Chains A and B, each alone.
Chain A
Amino acid sequence: MHETALMQNLIATVLQVAEKHNAARVNRVVLSVGKLANVLPEALSFAFEALTQDGIMKGAELEIKHLPAVARCDSCGHEYQVDEWPLSCPACQSRSFVITGGEEVYLESIDCVEKSVHGEGSEG
């Protein structure tokens, strides 16, 4: 439900990085979202589109990579991918676990076009 706030945070970060790299445009943003992150990819894409109507991110593409949920067995330490509940360790069948992955939302990378030394390609 907080996808718009998350996207605002993401875009602020992208703009900071873009400025540091002297970017004239940002063409692509890659984001990875864990299965347990409680954010809806469709809502993220929608918010991204709504928030990139102008400026150096205008028309930029958003790629969302999905990360699986991962659990670590309390009994034997084995890490395994979570597909359905209830969980049991594929190595020792223990039902006791901690979640070690799947809650993350990461800004992975951006593709940008740098301003030319002559000032062409900059926003004008």
Chain B
Amino acid sequence: MTRVDIKRDLDALNKQIAAANRALFKSAGLYVINLMGSPGSGKTTLLENILPRLQDHVRTAVIEGDLATENDALRIRKTGVTALQINTNGGCHLDARMIENQLSRLDLAALDLLIIENVGNLVCPASFDLGEDLRMVLLSVPEGADKPVKYPTAFLNAQAVAITKTDLLPYLNVDLDEMKRYMAEINPKLVVFETALKGGVYEAERLVAYILEQVRQKKGK
């Protein structure tokens, strides 16, 4: 019997493609956000509402990832923004290859910002680099304050978090400060935003300003 030492990283291929994506985004001066969060945390709602405000300043496109349907891409297209839909057919996350396969369908040089909505899942997407500049996790108030410590990897690998549905705080037994405390326990460097749907208006000013600033900084380089 022979022992063969292999020492092979099973994620090596994804890392390699993600690095190639990142290099491509860099040469196009394109800022890329990987948006992740549980099913129903409010990812598409956030995009529907902030895209028109972003689009006033930066040229934006969206890639939607879902197990099935074109529903989310259709919702995004109603805002006038280009949206491509990836169906993973049961796959629990997007990987770098799926993004690479979409890039030929976009004119990268004519864009400033690409937002990728990952498959609704607070676990698996965290393990797959897509080549993004910013990883943003959405955590909605009804999911409960302790999710950061229950699903640490999503928060560990992110730079920003948006706590969504804060309009529901008066109706739920969820402590916003406790939620933020748990986030800081896992990752003290997280930039935390809050969003709310109030009287038909989606409140996300700080988040929109932050994204625009990040896009400008990358363009300036």
* B-binding residues in A (CB < 8 A): 1-2, 5-6, 9-10, 13, 17, 21, 23, 27, 36-38, 85-86, 95-96, 99, 103-114
Q: Is B54 an interface residue (CB 8 A)?
A: no
Task: For B6, give its contact among A1, A17, A99 (CB under 8 Å).
Answer: A17
Bin the interface of chain B by size. 20 to 34
* A-binding residues in B (CB < 8 A): 1-11, 91-93, 121, 123-124, 126-127, 149, 152-153, 156-157, 184-186, 188-189
Q: Are B126 and A107 in contact (CB under 8 A)?
A: no
Bound Cα distance A100, B52 (Å): 38
Task: Tell me how far the C-beta of B191 lies from the nearest C-beta in chain A, rounded to whole angstroms.
Answer: 14
The majority secondary structure among interface residues of chain B is mixed
A6: nearest chain-B partner, CB-CB: B10
Task: For B1, give its contact among A13, A27, A103 (CB under 8 Å).
Answer: A27
Cβ of A111: which chain B residues have Cβ within 8 Å of it? 1-4
Q: A85-B185, A104-B9, A109-B6 are in contact. Are A2 and B1 (CB under 8 A)?
A: no
Cβ of A106: which chain B residues have Cβ within 8 Å of it? 7-10
Task: For B7, give its contact among A21, A36, A108 (CB under 8 Å).
Answer: A108
Beyond A105-B11, A112-B2, 10 extra complex contacts between A and B, CB < 8 Å: A9-B10, A10-B10, A23-B2, A27-B1, A36-B152, A38-B124, A86-B184, A103-B153, A107-B7, A111-B2
Bound Cα distance A107, B144 (Å): 37
Cβ of B6: which chain A residues have Cβ within 8 Å of it? 13, 17, 107-110
Q: Are A107 and B8 in contact (CB under 8 A)?
A: yes
Q: Are A38 and B153 in contact (CB under 8 A)?
A: yes
Task: For A36, give its contact among B92, B121, B149, B156 (CB under 8 Å).
Answer: B156
Bound Cα distance A17, B126 (Å): 29
Bound Cα distance A5, B11 (Å): 12
Cβ of B186: which chain A residues have Cβ within 8 Å of it? 85-86
B14: nearest chain-A partner, CB-CB: A9
Bound Cα distance A37, B3 (Å): 26
Cβ of B149: which chain A residues have Cβ within 8 Å of it? 85
